[in-house]
Amino acid sequence: MKLTTLCYIEQDNRYLMLHRIKKEHDVNHDKWIGVGGKFEADETPEECLLREVKEETGLTLLKYRCRGLLTFIAEGWESEYIFLYTATEFEGTLGECREGVLEWVEKDQIERLPIWEGDRIFLRLLSEDAGFFSLKLRYEKDTLVESVLNRF
C-alpha cells in the first residue's frame, strides 16, 4: 500500500484543481483532482502535504485540516491510503505543475469535469462539512464497483 496525501485548496467558493495530463503512466491521467502526492521516508501526513503542495503549486499552506482517509484500489495499480485534506489559507504565487495544469474551478462546476466517480462521494462530504470519515473506493478500470463509507 502506497501512502499519499490529497488536498483541495479553497478560495472564493472554488477549489484549486489539477488536470493530470503531463505524466504518461498515470492512474489519474486526464482526470481532475486536488494536489498532493506520495510520502517520503519518515514523513508525517502533514509534512508530506506541505511539501507536495509547495512542489506542485508553489503555495505554502497556512490553515488546513485532515478531513478523511481514502482507501483507493484500482485494478492494475498499487493500492493507496490517501490522507484527504482541505486548506483555506495559503501564501505564495501559484506556479506551474510538472504533472498537469492547475486551475481554480467553481465548486459547483467540478462534477462536470472528468473526475473519479468516488471523488463525487467525498466532495459531497466535504461540501456538507461532514466529520472525519473513511471511504473505501474500488475500481475495475474506470468503473467504481465498491464504495464503503464510515463516519466518525
pLDDT in tens, 9-58: 999 999 999 999 887 788 988 899 999 999 999 999 999 999 999 999 99
Domain span at residue 11? Answer: 2-151
pLDDT category at 143 given cuts 50, 70, 90 is: very high
d(CA 68, CA 84): 5
Q: What CATH number does residue 30 fall under?
A: 3.90.79.10
Provide the CA 39 distance to its chain's centre, in angstroms. Answer: 14
d(CA 106, CA 28): 21
pTM summary value: 0.95
Dihedral (C-alpha) 53, 31, 94, 7: value to the nearest 10 degrees?
-30
Provide the CA 62 distance to its chain's centre, in angstroms. Answer: 18
Give the number of C-alpha atoms closer than 13 A to the C-alpha of residue 22, restricted to the C-beta side. Answer: 10
User: For residue range 62-93, what is the model confidence (pLDDT) as tens digits?
Assistant: 999 999 999 999 999 999 999 999 999 999 99
- State how many domains the chain has: 1
d(CA 45, CA 31): 23
Whose cell is 482526470? That residue is 31
